[in-house]
A = this chain, B = another copy of it.
Amino acid sequence: MILLDGKKAANEIKDEIKKEVLFLKKKHNITPHLVAILVGSDPASKTYVMHKVAACKYCGIDSSIVELYEGIEESVLLNKVIELNNRKSVHGIIVQLPLPKHIDSRKVTNTISPEKDVDGFHPLNVGKTVLGLPSFLPATPKGIVELLRRYSIQTKGKKCVVLGRSQIVGLPISILLGQKGDYADCTVTLVHSKTENIEEEIRQADILIAAIGKPGYVKKVMLKKDAVVVDVGISRVDNPKAKKGYTLMGDVDFDDVKDVCSYITPVPGGVGPMTVVSLLQNTLSSAKGLIS
């Protein structure tokens, strides 16, 4: 079994980005700038944003956090987004999800200018992704494909099963891996809560992408021998012995499956760091004006 070390790959990519950022500054006097909007005080959301900010800093990308209080009116938030759309020095805008319930997340996402939508959530970017046109790919699926590429994992013609049909992970990765091209061209089955024989589907996977948010769900008995396992899940599981009182756990029971698969991502340190660097890559592309 080989570990798909997302942390290591992400560090390599960050160094590549750093060089490009430096070149962009020297040659064109442009510094990429990412703005993250954070509503409310959810600690997990705050942690995610801080990871993104730290990664930006490492790469020489400017970042700002717009912190707004939990009860903010939707219209005020939308106006903030429009203001950032119009600010020329801003190249990427992200809104940390989830938003408070009184705010329509889709409305907010649709308001971000497609040219600055480095999370790739705007319908125009989603459509371009589906059609194989240049666009901002959503960060997690982009990171997964990049991880497969860094480990030269052959995907052409392989059977890929995607567990979970969320709009930000399961659905887009199912589309990307089924498209023509390198590190794509898979035969993809998208499995979800309504699937009748979920284990029978999983057992067919040469490549399994698990993104359902059920800690430890995937067991050895469900897997084909030598499957490639990409674990997107990251849940907090109570653990009185752990310092923080919890352990992070993916959708895959790592210890149970590790001897049966050929490659597997750890949790944490697998898909997570790849997601963050994908966002930085998109921000860099935006600053370079690569994606209109």
Contacts and interface: CB of A to CB of B under 8 A. Distances in A.
Interface of A: 106, 122-131, 133, 156-159, 165, 167, 171, 174-175, 178-180, 185, 187-192, 194-197, 201
A156 B123 contact: no
Contacts of A159: 196-197
B196 A192 contact: no
A206 to B, nearest CB: 9
Nearest to A110: B133
Given A126-B131, A157-B196, 12 more contacts: A123-B127, A124-B127, A126-B127, A127-B130, A157-B195, A158-B196, A159-B196, A187-B189, A187-B191, A187-B195, A187-B201, A189-B189
Majority DSSP secondary structure for residues of A touching B: mixed
How many copies of this chain? 2
Contacts of A185: 192, 194
A191 B159 CA distance: 10
A128 B126 CA distance: 8
A8 to B, nearest CB: 30
A194 B124 contact: no
Q: Which of A131, A157, A165, A174 has the most chain B CB atoms inside 10 A of its CB? A: A131
Contacts of A187: 189-192, 194-196, 201
Contacts of A158: 196
Nearest to A156: B194
A185 B195 CA distance: 8
A167 B126 contact: no
A129 to B, nearest CB: 8
A201 B178 CA distance: 15
Q: Which of A126, A128, A191, A201 has the most chain B CB atoms inside 10 A of its CB? A: A126
B123 A128 contact: yes
Nearest to A189: B189
Contacts of A130: 123, 126-127, 130, 167, 171, 175
Nearest to A130: B126
B178 A192 contact: yes
A29 to B, nearest CB: 32
A159 B122 CA distance: 30
